[in-house]
Amino acid sequence: MTRYIVLRVLLAAGVLWAAYTVTFAILYIIPGDPVSAMLAGGLDNGAVSAERLEELRDAYGFNDPLPLQYASHLWAAVQGDLGTSVQTGQPVSTAVGQVLLPTVELSAAALVIALVLGGGIALVATYTHSAWLREALLGIPPVAVSLPTFWIGLLLIQWFSFQWGIFPAMGDDGIRSLVLPALTLGLPISALVAQVLAKSLQEAALDPYVTTTRAKGISRLQVHLGHVLRNATLPSLTMVGLIAGNLLAGSVIVETVFSRPGLGQLTVQAVTLQDLPVVQGVVLFGAVVFIAANLIVDLLLPLADPRVTVGRSYA
């Protein structure tokens, strides 16, 4: 088991390194440079002399040969120094840390919505005797998955904020301002949850133990919620990593549409302004979240289901 964990951590480090290297390559090889982007405060300003540009690029180290830049950045990153934002001069870790809380709040709320909505649809669809209702409910997730997040967001704002004035259209000011963004972010994920959970529920319901339990006189509802659901949850657990990724990716759009501060908005801005250190910091953070979520699930699975064991192949 210990060996398994060590191997998994080493693997995680490898994935992080790969993520870092690929982003570095993409960011530093594409045309344009962050110093110009900073000056493009900018487009509307008078020209800045070529000498001044060179000076600044030197100061930020953008004139060093690529391998040297790569090596020095990687070495600093290993030591926990992700560099400083070209735009604001803030350390990247501070920049990410500052906006983390609003995104965590948003993601948590969206997750709750996704689980309640998605779980509800899956449970009702697999429990009901009405073929019509089942088909209708199971038809919702594929549609919801295909709707663009920003479109859902704009529609929600248009109705609930501009027309009915129930929720604010912008900002990060308490629960009321969290409802619409969380709903926007949670809807597509709830569809994902509903699809996977409904499938495993349907499969689990066919298992022989269901017949046995029913024969013992336990009500259908009790069997459905107490036994079938418990067995069907396991496959859904493996989606946690996927959901974490979806939440991070969705926050980019949701935070922009709802003018919320957060990791998503930081990402958009850093990408637009080619603030390379910040983009790399965000990518690394995303990779860490993704890897951690998957690792935790893998370690938890045996606890949830005694039939699953980890590390046997290594032992």
Partner 1 sequence: MTLAPPPHSRTPQRTFSGSRLRALGAGIGLSTLLALTACGGAGAQSPAADGGGDPVSGGTLRFAVGSDAGCIDPQQVGSNDSIYSTRQLVDSLTDQDPETGEIVPWLAQEWEINDDATEFTFTLQEGVTFSDGTPVDSEAVAANFDRALDLGARAALIGGYLQGYEGTEIVDERTFTVTFAEPSAQFLQATSTHTLGILHPDTVAASDDARCESVIGSGPFVLESYTPNDSISLSAREGYDWGSSLWENQSEPYLDGIEFTVVPESGVRAGSLQSDQVEVIGNIAPQDEAQLQAAEAQLLARTNPGIAFGLRLNHDLEVFADEEVREAISLAINREEIVSTVYTADTPAATSILSSTTPDHADLSEHLGHDPQRAEQLIAEAGYERTDDGGWERDGEPLEFEILWFNNAATNAPTLELIQQQLAAVGIGVSLQEGQVAEWQTHLSEGTFETNWGNITRADPDILRTTYHTDLANSYRLEPSALDDLLLEQAAATDPQERAELVAQAQEHLVTEYLEIPVVDLTTVLAVRAEVHGVRFDSGSRVHLNDVWIEDAEQ
Shortest Cβ 82–partner 1 spacing (Å): 16
Distance CA 293, CA 296 (A): 5
Shortest Cβ 146–partner 1 spacing (Å): 12
Single-letter code of the amino acid located at 262: G
Using CA atoms, how far residue 313 sits from 3, 11, 248, 310, in Å, is: 11, 16, 33, 8
In this structure, are residues 255 and 103 in contact, taking their beta carbons and an 8 Å threshold? yes
By C-beta, is 53 or 115 nearer to partner 1? 53
By C-beta, is 148 or 226 nearer to partner 1? 148
By C-beta, is 31 or 217 nearer to partner 1? 31
Shortest Cβ 230–partner 1 spacing (Å): 32
Tokens describing residue 139? 């038809």
By C-beta, is 135 or 173 nearer to partner 1? 173
Q: How far is CA 150 from the centre of its chain?
A: 16
By C-beta, is 124 or 240 nearer to partner 1? 240
By C-beta, is 75 or 151 nearer to partner 1? 151
Shortest Cβ 64–partner 1 spacing (Å): 17
Shortest Cβ 287–partner 1 spacing (Å): 7
Shortest Cβ 71–partner 1 spacing (Å): 23
Q: Which residues bind partner 1 (CB under 8 A)?
A: 23, 31-50, 52-53, 56, 87-90, 99, 148, 150-151, 154-155, 157-158, 161-163, 165, 168-172, 245, 248-249, 252-253, 256-259, 261, 265-269, 271-274, 279, 282-283, 286-287, 290
Shortest Cβ 221–partner 1 spacing (Å): 40
Half-sphere exposure of 99 (CA within 13 A, CB side): 24
By C-beta, is 288 or 310 nearer to partner 1? 288
In this structure, are residues 214 and 226 in contact, taking their beta carbons and an 8 Å threshold? no
